Chains A and B, each alone.
Chain A
């Protein structure tokens, strides 16, 4: 059951990426070489900080590992101008919010992520790109 859900998440993520890639200019403002772009990782976390600033909106959240210990994660999205046009503002996420983040993790620091898909505290997938 879990394997099926993971496969569905991966497939739907690839579909999202494929659709976005076909419809919008690829946004790679800074380098992707620092990230492992061959694998998509998904984690559940609790927000600790949310910075709605240029050049990239930054999310900070705690993830519990299998032992129950807390990992400190940092993740990023695109520019706030673009997210504002996708309906975001500086209050869209807050400390304490539960999120599920999927994306590429850093090669040198596996607790950094460039997010491709984000499920917010109400369980819905947040739009990550302007239309």
Chain B
């Protein structure tokens, strides 16, 4: 018994040692494959209802390691303006950093993350629907987005905000489409430091596949920074027992001297 355990553990160890680093190799399932892999016992999605606490979980069998830091395996095509800005970013090197080696505004100043960078915080978020707007509450740093669903149009001359101004509408029974514009240019698109301009327009399609699973299709359009739209799909699972707690990116979060002796 003990011998078998040792050999199987050694086998797993060998397999893990030979497997590619998280960042390099990926297996991407098609939407049909992914949906087929979902557990059959999940109930149908309720109509026009994303209520719940959701946590990012990549589909079973896939190894989308880049979803910790960026949106796609291949980098986006940047305009010359954006390439120059990207060179100034000193990102966090996959986690191997100290505060002196990075200029990531979230890590060094607790700046709001912007959209869609907020989805790289490894914390859950929840939806709260009201008749005129849907609230997106992210656990990290009490981040709140208000998505107006009262039929108002996308603002044509919005104020420039960290998280933009959002309007949303339902497409069918289970997809909330959110358009967000009016971003300041102080945030990064991802954790690698890809930049955006004030022209950024983010479209999020929150598609509740069934009761327990949510797909988030993200599209970033920014003629000043991106040669063409940058798109991806992130996957989330419902966490019925979870409640969001408090996280305030202040004080101790910035005083990493304690952890970098």
Chain A residues with CB under 8 Å of chain B are 8, 11-12, 14-15, 18, 21-34, 37, 53-56, 76, 79-82, 84-85, 106, 108-109, 112, 130
Binding site for A on B (CB under 8 A): 6, 9-10, 12-13, 16-17, 19, 22, 55-57, 63, 65, 67-68, 92-99, 101-102, 107, 122-123, 139, 239, 241-242, 244-248, 252-253, 256, 259-261
- Tell me how far the C-beta of B112 lies from the nearest C-beta in chain A, rounded to whole angstroms: 16
**Given A12-B9, A34-B260; A54-B99 close (CB under 8 Å):** no
With A31-B256, A54-B252, A55-B252: A81-B245 Cβ-Cβ less than 8 Å: yes
Do residues A56 and B259 form an inter-chain contact, with CB atoms below 8 A?
yes
> What is the bound-complex CA distance between A21 and B112, given in angstroms?
27
Contacts of A21 in B (CB 8 A): 22
Docked Cα-Cα span, A30 to B64, in Å, equals: 21
- Asked whether, in the complex, the Cβ of B95 is within 8 Å of the Cβ of A85, the reply is no
Besides A12-B9, A81-B245, 20 other CB < 8 A contacts? A11-B10, A11-B12, A11-B13, A15-B12, A26-B22, A26-B68, A28-B94, A28-B95, A31-B98, A32-B95, A33-B98, A34-B98, A54-B247, A55-B252, A56-B259, A81-B244, A81-B247, A84-B245, A85-B239, A130-B242
Most chain A CB within 10 A, of B93, B95, B99, is at: B95
Q: Which of A25, A55, A76, A106 contacts B253 (CB 8 A)?
A: A55
**A80 partner residues in chain B, CB cutoff 8 A:** 245
Which one, A14, A26, A54, contacts B95 given CB within 8 A? Answer: A26
Nearest B residue to A10, CB-CB: B13
CB neighbours of B256 from chain A (8 A): 30-31
A32→B56 contact, CB < 8 A: no
Q: Is the CB of A79 within 8 A of B9?
A: no
A81 touches B139 (CB 8 A): yes
Whether A25 touches B56, Cβ cut-off 8 Å, given contacts A32-B96, A79-B247, is yes
CB-CB under 8 A from A53, the residues of chain B are 252
A112: which B residues are within 8 A, CB to CB?
259, 261
| Closest chain B CB from A54 CB (angstroms) | 6
Q: How far is the CB of B79 from chain A (nearest CB, A)?
A: 30
In the complex the two chains form, is A81's CB within 8 Å of B123's CB? Answer: yes
Select one of B9, B101, B122, B244 contacting A27, CB under 8 A: B122
Asked if residues A34 and B259 are in contact (CB atoms below 8 Å), the reply is yes
* Residue of B whose beta carbon sits closest to that of A55: B253
Name the residue on A nearest B17 (C-beta). A14
Are B95 and A22 in contact (CB-based, < 8 A)?
no
Knowing A22-B63, A55-B252 touch, does A8 contact B9 (C-beta < 8 A)? Answer: yes
Separation of A34 and B98 alpha carbons in the complex (Å)? 7
Shortest beta-carbon distance from A90 to chain B in Å: 12
The answer to whether B245 and A15 have CB atoms under 8 Å apart is no
23 example contacts (A-B, Cβ-Cβ < 8 A) are as follows A11-B6, A11-B9, A11-B12, A18-B12, A18-B16, A25-B122, A26-B68, A26-B122, A28-B92, A29-B122, A30-B107, A30-B256, A31-B102, A31-B259, A33-B98, A34-B260, A53-B252, A54-B247, A79-B247, A81-B245, A108-B261, A109-B261, A112-B259
